[in-house]
Amino acid sequence: MIIGVVKQYIYFLLTAGVAIIGTVFLTSNARSLDVAPLNDSHKARIVSNCTSAKASLQQLHRSDASLRVNRGQLYESISTKLMARLNSRIALNRLDGSELVAATVRYEQGLSNFRDNYQAYEEQLTALLRVNCQKQPEQFYLQVLDVRERRKAVAWTIGELNRYTAEYYQIFERFAGGYRVTTNAEAES
Amino acid sequence: MSDDDGITTGERIPSLMAEHRLTILICLSIVIALVFTAVGLTLYNTSGTAQLDLSRPGFEGIDKQIKSHKADAIEYPATGPINEETLLQFDALYKKQLENVTSVNAFGGDPMAPDALGIDDALFEESE
């Protein structure tokens, strides 16, 4: 009897574990789409071209993955190896680098947005590649539109990051200009 | 409470557990391993690590496209004086990275446009 209870308890734990894992995967991949009616000729066009469309999407998936890693490394290195270090150096020399610090915070926020937007885009693209476009042309088409918007969001955050990178440089130039004026004035006096 | 043989439940449980301890150990080990695996996979998927993992199926050979940043690794010293020389040094280093950032139109274009993928409504386009 006791063995039965222990066995039941273990079965319960195993079932609960499998259920939890399944729920996590299903909810992470679940997509709710309102399928708008497409006309028959459009569906036929999707079905006939979906193999080549999927091949293009797979190629895009691969190239975007390497682009994500390369750009991520580049943006990270700007933040950690240049911005943070100059800010630290300015603070150690008891100079006012508050504008540069504020620009760094904006840049870091932009970098965080880039990571989040890319993750959302990649997850949706992976889900899109799992859709059987021969059997579900409508769903495939609507998911393409959704993923396209998410990719645009990634491009937008890249634009923002580039803007913050340039902004930091402008502030640095102002800081350097102010520093030179101050040191020249001190030298003359 | 006691069974027919006079052994109480309180006495029976420890003896049964001792008797089947290997089975219990294996079962508990499996459960713990499943829980830790689930936690690990969840973290892997939710933290964004999966997106950086180029060893996933379908990404074979992509790692060759990853640029090595060791060669052009630039580090501005975090300590030292601020003077004309060090400002010029930072200016040169930062300008180089700024060029790297702005030289490529990353994620630009619209490769996912339905017409680019050949899944647009051709008749609708023609009628427009």
**DSSP state for residue A93 in the 8-state scheme:** T
3-state DSSP assignment of residue B2 = strand
The predicted structure's pLDDT at residue B17: 84
B16 confidence band (pLDDT: 50, 70, 90): confident
Cβ–Cβ of A57/B123 closer than 8 Å? no
Q: Exposed/middle/buried for B107, CB within 10 Å: 0-12, 13-18, 19+? A: buried
- Is the pLDDT score of A112 beyond 50? yes
- Is the pLDDT score of B128 beyond 50? no
Residues of B in contact with A90 (CB under 8 A): 82
Q: How far is A130 from chain B (nearest CA, A)?
A: 13
pLDDT tens, A27-48?
544 444 454 578 888 889 999 9
For B2, phi then psi, to 5°, come to -140, 155
B76 touches chain A (CB under 8 A): yes
Cβ–Cβ of A176/B101 closer than 8 Å? no
Q: How far is A46 from chain B (nearest CA, A)?
A: 5
Under 8 Å between Cβ of A6 and B13? no
The predicted structure's pLDDT at residue B66: 78
Q: How far is A114 from chain B (nearest CA, A)?
A: 11
Under 8 Å between Cβ of B81 and B75? no
For chain A, the farthest-separated pair of C-alpha atoms sits apart, in whole angstroms, at: 97
Under 8 Å between Cβ of A99 and A172? no
Q: How far is B6 from chain A (nearest CA, A)?
A: 16
A104 confidence band (pLDDT: 50, 70, 90): very high
Whether pTM > 0.80 for this model: the answer is no
Cβ–Cβ of B87/A39 closer than 8 Å? no
Burial A112-121 (b: 16+ CB within 10 A, else e): ebbbebbbbb
Closest Cα to residue A177, out of A185, A189, A188? A185
* C-alpha to C-alpha distance for A25 and A22, rounded to whole angstroms: 5
Closest Cα to residue B87, out of A187, A100, A80, A105? A100
Q: Which of B4, B29, B117 to mutate to test the interface with A (most CBs of A within 10 A)?
A: B117
* Tokens (6 digits) for B119: 């899944």
Cβ–Cβ of A81/B24 closer than 8 Å? no
* Tokens (6 digits) for A173: 């130039």
Closest CB to B107 among A45, A67, A165: A67
Closest CB to B82 among A68, A162, A179: A179
Distances (CA, A) of A22 to A49, A125, A141: 33, 21, 27
The predicted structure's pLDDT at residue A30: 44
B16 touches chain A (CB under 8 A): yes
